[in-house]
Amino acid sequence: MKILVINSGSSSLKYQLIDMETESVLAKGLCERIGIANSNFVYKAHGMTIEQQTDIPDHNTAVKLVLDKLTDKEAGVISSMKEIDGVGHRVVASGEAFKQPTLVTPQAMETMEQIKDLAPLHNPAAIVGVNACLAQMPDTPMVLVFDTGFHFTMPDYAYMYAINYQHYQKYKIRRYGAHGTSHKFVAQEAAKYLGKNIEDLKIITCHLGNGSSITAVKGGKCIDTSMGFTPLAGVPMGTRSGDIDFAAAEYIAKKEGMSISDMLTYLNKQCGMLGVSGVSSDFRDLSVASDAGNDRARLALDMFCYNTKKYIGAYAAALNGVDVIVFTAGIGENDSRVREASLKDMEYLGVKLDAQKNVDCPRGTIAEIQADDSKVKILVIPTNEELVIARETMSVANLA
For binding to ligand AMP (CB under 6 A), which residues are involved? 209-210, 238, 282-284, 329-331, 334-335
Q: What is the number of the residue whose Cβ is closest to ligand AMP? A: 330
Minimum CB separation of residue 239 from ligand AMP in Å reads 10
Closest to ligand AMP by CB, 137 or 305: 305
Minimum CB separation of residue 298 from ligand AMP in Å reads 15
Minimum CB separation of residue 329 from ligand AMP in Å reads 4
Residue 156: how many CA atoms within 13 Å on its side-chain side?
4
Instruction: Using alpha carbons, select from 9, 14, 8 the residue that is nearest to residue 41.
Output: 14
Minimum CB separation of residue 232 from ligand AMP in Å reads 15
Closest to ligand AMP by CB, 29 or 330: 330
* C-alpha span between 2 and 264 (Å, rounded): 40
* C-alpha span between 190 and 317 (Å, rounded): 20
* C-alpha span between 391 and 18 (Å, rounded): 10
Tell how strand 102-103 and strand 221-225 pair up: unpaired
Length of the chain: 400
- Please pick, among 72, 85, 147, 373, the residue that the annotation labels catalytic: 147
Closest to ligand AMP by CB, 177 or 238: 238
CA distances from 195 to 48, 189, 191, 333 (A): 35, 10, 6, 21
Closest to ligand AMP by CB, 76 or 231: 231
Closest to ligand AMP by CB, 132 or 190: 190
Minimum CB separation of residue 247 from ligand AMP in Å reads 30
147 as an active site residue: the answer is: yes
Which parts of the chain fold into alpha helices (H)?
Answer: 59-70, 106-114, 123-136, 156-159, 165-171, 180-194, 246-256, 260-269, 272-277, 283-291, 295-319, 329-334, 336-342, 355-360, 385-396
- Catalytic machinery residues: 147
